[in-house]
Structure 1
Amino acid sequence: MGEEIAAESFSREDRRRYRERLLQNLDTFDEYLSNAHFADDRSIGLEVELNLTDEHFDPALRNADVLASVADPSFQTEIGAYNIELNYPALAIECDGLRRLEDGLRSRLDAADERARAVGAHLLMTGILPTIDENLLADDAWMSPETRYAALNESVLQARGEDVLLDIEGHESLHLYVQSLAPEAACTSVQLHVQVSPGGFASAWNAAQIIAGPQIALAANSPTFIGKKLWHETRIELFGQAVDSRPPEMRNQGVRPRAWFGERWITSIFDLFEENVRYFPALIPEMAEAGKHQPGRLDGPPSLYELRLHNGTVWRWNRPIYDPHGKLPHLRVENRLLPAGPTVIDTVANAAFYYGLVEILQAADRPLWSRMAFSTAADNFYACAKHGLEAQVYWPGAGDVPVDELIVRRLLPLAAEGLDRLHVDSGTRDRYMDVLRERATSNQNGAGWQLETIAAYEREGHNRDSAVHSMVADYARGMHSNEPVHAWKIPGTHSVSHTL
C-alpha cells in the first residue's frame, strides 16, 4: 500500500478483471521463481512508524506540515494524519552494521524532530500513542488525504457492511463501535526486513513465525488504548479488529481474517502469495496502467503490480515481499509485529534478537517447526501479545515454560550465535544482547514501564487522563535519553520495577 492509486471506488467489472490479472500474475511468479536470479546479499532493512504530538503530548494532525519541514524523502505519510514513517536504507549487518544502524537512526530521528518542532509538533516512538481519545476516532480529520487511504477505508467498511467493533478484554475491557479505520492508525510499528533467496525463504519465514511469541513478549510497548489498560501489546489485537473486513457471520463460519498469523508452515514463498489470491477478495482492485507493470515483461523482472498491491492488503505479521526493483529482483521477509519504541537502542536490540534467531534457526539440521504444531506457535504469539513477559509458552525440548525464562536461558544464546554466523563483531553483539538480557531479567519492557508508571501517578492522586499524560511526558524524556527502557525509573521509587 505504499504507492498512490487513482480511484477511491471500483466497479464489479474492475473486480472481475483484477481477479483475472491476479491469477495471471500468480502463474508468472511461479514460473519466474523457478528460472530467475535473485539478489542474495544478506542486507537488512528497517521501517519505523512515528506519532506526532503537540506540546501537551496529544495527537498533532500535522503530518503534511511536518514532512514539508523535514524535507527528507525517506520520511513518508502513514494513514493517520498524526503519523509519519521513516524508511531506513538497507545496509549490511556484518561487523558493526547494527551499531551503524543505531547511530544512523538516532541522527535522522533527531534531525526530523528538530524540524517537526519548527511547525509545532514532536516525534514519539511508541506502539500506541496513549493520549488518543474517543474524540479523535470520531473526527474525520484523523486520516491523511491520499487517495489510497480513503479507498482502503471505504473498501474495508463496504466489505464488513457495518461499523467496526472493538472488543478487547485485558487488564480492563474495551467495547466500542467506530465508523472508520481510525483505530488502525493508532498502531505504529517497527518493520524489520531480511533479504533471502527463493530456496531459503520458507525456512526464514518459518523461523520468524516460531519466534514471534517471544519476540513480542520481549518488545511489548502498547499496553493502553483510549485510557484503557488492555493487552501488553494491545496493538496486535487492535489492528486485527480495526482492519477486519468480515461481518460477524463470516467470522463464525471461520473465514480467515486479513490481519493474519497464518495457518501452516510453508515450503515456498509461492505458498503465501497463492493463499493471498485464493482466500482474500481484493480491497483495492486497481489495474496497472496500460503498457506498465505488465505480468510478463521481457526487458526485466515482471512487476506483478496487482499481485504486490494485493499482498499489501493482507496483513500477515510476517509478510512475504517480492521486489522487482534494483539491479536484481529480491525476496524478503517483512517482520511487522514489533511496536515502535521505546528508544533507538531498544529498537536495534529487538532487531538483533530477530536477525540472530532467524539466522541460526533456519540453518538447523532438525528445524524447530518440525517439532511444533503451527497452531502452538500461533497460541504462543497471542499469549505473549496479551501477557508480555508474564506469558507462558510451549517450546520444543522445554515444554510449558515462562517466556522470560525461555528468552534468557535459550533464545539469547541462540541469537548471539546467529549474530556470530552473520559476522557481527563481538562488541556490537554484546551491546544488544546485554540490553535484552537486562530487560528480560528485570521484567521491564516498555509495556511494563508504562503500566507501572500510570499506576504510580494514580497512587499520587491523578485521575487516569492526568496519569497517562504525565506518563507520556516521562516517556518522551526517556526516549530522547536513549537509555534502555529496563533502566527507566518508576515515579516515587528509587529503582526500576521488577513486577507488573
Structure 2
Amino acid sequence: MGETPDLVAAVERSNDPDVRAEFDRRVREQAQRIRDDIRSGRLDTDEFAVGMELEAYAVDAADRLAPIPERVFERGGCAKELGVHNLEVNSAATVFDAAGVAEQADRIGASVDAAADALGDEALSPVLDAMWTVPPAEGTDAYLGAVEERDGVTVAANMRHHPRYVALDNEILERSGGEITLDVPGAHLAYPTILAESLATSIQPHLQIPSAEHFPDYFNAALRTTGPILALSSNSSFLPADCYDDDPDVISATPHELRIHVFEKSINAGASRDEGKVRFPSDLEAATDVVDRVVADETYAPVLVDDADDDASPYRATLPEYDHKRGVHWRWVRGVIGGQPVGTEADGASLRIEYRPLPTQPTVRDTVSLQVLVVGLLRGLVAADHPLTDLPWTAARDCFYDAVDRGPDADLAWVTANGDRTADPDTVYDEVFAFARRGLRDAGLDAEVIDGYLDPVERRRDEGTPAAPSAWKKARVREAVDDGATLPEAIEAMQRDYIARAGGETVFADW
C-alpha cells in the first residue's frame, strides 16, 4: 500500500490541464528540433542495424498463469510489462552484417535463458507464446477484473503499479465510461481496466535505416509485407479457456490473431477519433512525417519529465516528453527516432523501423528466423527497387487484417518484381524469400548461412501440416473436441501440449 500516494498523485498530475498544456508545448518544441535534425542529416548513420524485443509470460508448475516476483527482473536481465505476469527481453542493436546477425541470435537466446533461470528459481517458467490460455488459479474474470479504488483512482491488482500504466489505464477508462469490453467469437469480456491487453505478447524486430531521405521507402514497403509475414506467423487463436462455453463453432470462427483484436479494442476504447489510437498506419512521404504524426496524435497520460532516463541514449534524453508520447503512439509499424546508432559517435542518433505486428513465436530459432526474414526482406526490396509500393495502401491494410482473421488461409495482396498484381500464395512467398535473400546477401551473409536462418519459417509454407502456430492450435482443439472433450477442456489440453513444446530446440515446422 505504500505506493498509493505516488500512484494517485501521478494520475492527478496527468489529468491536470496545465500539465497537459505544458506537455504538449514541450512535445512541439522537441519535435521541431527533431525535424531540423532530420533535414540536416543529423540522424543519418553509417550502417544498417538490427535489434529485437521479445515478450513472454510466466506460468507455474501446473502451467497456470502466474505473477513474476520483483527479484526475477533484478536477476534475469528482463524488463517489466503491463501485467504482473509479463516480461520482455531485449536484444541491443548490432550492425546488420554477418557478425551482427549472429550476435543477435546469440543475444536473444542468452536473454531468454537468463530469464528462464531466474524464473526457475521461483518455480516458474517463461512461455514463448502470443496469448495465455490456461487461466490463473482464481480464474480469468477474477484475475483481469480485480481493481481497487484509491481516492478516485482505479488501480488494477494485477497490473504493474507503475505510474505510467496506472495513469494510462485511468485515461482510457475515463474515455470509455469506466468499462473496457471485448467481443469475439464465443466470448464477451468486460472489465473496469485495460488489463485485458496483457493477454497479448509479441516480438518486434527493429531495423535502423542509414538515410532519412530513403526512410519512407523502407517504411512503405514494410506496410505491404505485414499481411504475408503475419499469415506465416499467426499464433493467438484462443482466449483463456474459461472465457468460453462449450461451443465448438468457436474453433472455426475465432480469428488466428486475437492478439491484434485484443490490443486494438482495449486501447481504442473511447478514442475520440474514428481511426483509434492503435491502427495500421498510412504511407510516409518524408521522414519528418514520423514526427508530425506523433505531435498530431491524441495525448494520453502525459508526464512532465524533469530527470533524464538513465537508460535513454544521449539524444533521446533531450526529448523526454516527445519520447513519452511516441511510446503511446501505437501503430502496427512505426518510426522510432533518436536511438543510439551502432558504431558511431557517443552522442549520435538514428531513425529505425519498429515492426510490431508479429506474435511471439514458439522457439528462439523461430523468433530469430522471423527477425532475419523481416530485416532481410525490407533491405532487399528497397535495394532492388522492387515495385511493391505500387500496391494500393488499402489493399495492404485489407491483407493485414485478413491475415489477422484467417492466418495462413488469408487472401494475400502483392505486386511482383515485374509489376503484376497477384494474390497467389506461391508467387508471393517465392518473392518474399527471394528478396529476403537478396537483402541478406547485400548485408554480407553467405547463402548457406541465410538458408539456415530462414529455414524454420520458410518450411512453414512448404510443409503439408498447418503453416502457422495458430492453425496448429486450432487443429489440436478440433481433434480433442471430436474425441469428446468440451471446448474449454480442449483449449487447456492444447495449451499444455504447446507449453511442453515451446521454448525447446524443435522449431515449429517439426511439431
Q: Quick check: TM above 0.5?
A: yes
Between the aligned partners of 1:118 and 1:72, the Cα distance in structure 2 is 10
Q: Tell me how far 1:375 sits from its aligned partner.
A: 1.2
Q: Is the Cα–Cα contact under 8 Å of residues 217 and 382 in structure 2 kept in the other structure?
A: yes
User: Does residue 429 of structure 1 match 2:450?
Assistant: yes
Task: Provide, for residues 460-500 of structure 1, a one-character-per-residue CA deviation record: whole Å limited to 9, x for no partner.
Answer: 33333332232222212322332111211xxxxxxxxxxxx
Write out aligned runs for 1:18-417 (5 A). 18-38=23-43, 39-68=45-74, 71-73=75-77, 75-132=78-135, 133-139=140-146, 140-168=156-184, 172-196=185-209, 197-227=211-241, 229=251, 230-246=254-270, 250=272, 255-263=274-282, 265-278=283-296, 280-289=297-306, 303-323=318-338, 325=340, 326-365=346-385, 367-369=387-389, 371-397=390-416, 398-403=420-425, 405-417=426-438
Matched AA of 1:332: R
Aligned-residue RMSD, C-alpha: 2.3
Q: Give 3-state SS (helix, strand or coil) of 1:431's partner.
A: helix
Q: Tell me how far 1:453 sits from its aligned partner.
A: 1.4
Q: Is the Cα–Cα contact under 8 Å of residues 116 and 123 in structure 1 kept in the other structure?
A: yes
Matched AA of 2:459: E
Q: Tell me how far 1:125 sits from its aligned partner.
A: 0.8
Q: Structure 1 residues 182-191 or 90-99, which shifts more? A: 90-99
Q: Tell me how far 1:36 sits from its aligned partner.
A: 4.4
Q: Tell me how far 1:20 sits from its aligned partner.
A: 1.8
Q: Is the Cα–Cα contact under 8 Å of residues 44 and 92 in structure 1 kept in the other structure?
A: yes
Q: Give 3-state SS (helix, strand or coil) of 1:199's partner.
A: coil
Q: Is the Cα–Cα contact under 8 Å of residues 196 and 266 in structure 2 kept in the other structure?
A: yes
Q: Tell me how far 1:363 sits from its aligned partner.
A: 2.6
Change in 2 beyond 3 A, CA 1:424/1:332: same
Between the aligned partners of 2:240 and 2:438, the Cα distance in structure 1 is 41
Between the aligned partners of 2:92 and 2:115, the Cα distance in structure 1 is 16
Q: Give the TM-score of the pair, scaled to structure 1.
A: 0.87
Q: Give the TM-score of the pair, scaled to structure 2.
A: 0.85
Task: Provide, for residues 19-55 of structure 1, a one-character-per-residue CA deviation record: whole Å limited to 9, x for no partner.
Answer: 2222222222211212243333212100101100111
Between the aligned partners of 1:406 and 1:258, the Cα distance in structure 2 is 34
Q: Give 3-state SS (helix, strand or coil) of 2:183's partner.
A: strand
Q: Is the Cα–Cα contact under 8 Å of residues 63 and 83 in structure 1 kept in the other structure?
A: no
Q: Give 3-state SS (helix, strand or coil) of 2:318's partner.
A: coil
Task: Provide, for residues 48-81 of structure 1, a one-character-per-residue CA deviation record: whole Å limited to 9, x for no partner.
Answer: 011001112111012424324xx144x1100100
Q: Is the Cα–Cα contact under 8 Å of residues 316 and 339 in structure 2 kept in the other structure?
A: yes
Between the aligned partners of 2:450 and 2:330, the Cα distance in structure 1 is 31
Change in 2 beyond 3 A, CA 1:391/1:145: same
424, 437, 459: which is aligned to 1:438? 459
Matched residues, number: 464
Is there any run of 5+ residues in structure 1 with no aligned partner, and where?
A: 294-298, 489-500
Q: Tell me how far 1:324 sits from its aligned partner.
A: 5.2
Q: Structure 1 residues 110-119 or 381-390, which shifts more? A: 110-119
Between the aligned partners of 1:55 and 1:381, the Cα distance in structure 2 is 37
Change in 2 beyond 3 A, CA 1:63/1:202: farther
Between the aligned partners of 1:477 and 1:103, the Cα distance in structure 2 is 23
Q: Is the Cα–Cα contact under 8 Å of residues 57 and 127 in structure 2 kept in the other structure?
A: yes
